[in-house]
Amino acid sequence: MSCRSTKDVGRPGHADCEYTTLDYAGSAMFMLTVAGLLVLLLVLLVDVILPLRRGDRLGRRFGTAVLILAPITVCAALD
């Protein structure tokens, strides 16, 4: 988005600049922040808090979490 205010909408050379983009930017960023915090809290709950309550070792849990990055790394290397 190349516009910063409603004054930029009418100026030439500004692409992808609409009133709706400016109107919803604040609320969209707020909701994205809330959703991101919710996901981080869920990851903390599932990967740290629940295993500690069950008595699992966190080292084994975090060691297997590295395997999540393996397919991503292979795809990035092949691309």
Span 47-60, mean pLDDT?
83
Percent of the chain at pLDDT > 90 equals 24
Does the structure show a pLDDT above 70 at 56?
Answer: yes
- pTM as predicted: 0.53
Supply the pLDDT for residue 8.
63
The two tokens of residue 53 are 């309550």
Does the structure show a pLDDT above 80 at 30?
Answer: yes
- In angstroms, rounded to a whole number, what is the distance separating the alpha carbons of residues 43 and 47? 6
Each residue's pLDDT tens digit, 35-52: 999 999 998 888 788 888
Q: Using DSSP, state whether 70 is helix, strand or coil.
A: helix
The two tokens of residue 72 are 């991503």
Provide the greatest CA pair distance for the chain: 63
Task: Give the count of beta carbons closer than 10 Å to the beta carbon of residue 68.
Answer: 8
Does the structure show a pLDDT above 70 at 19?
Answer: no
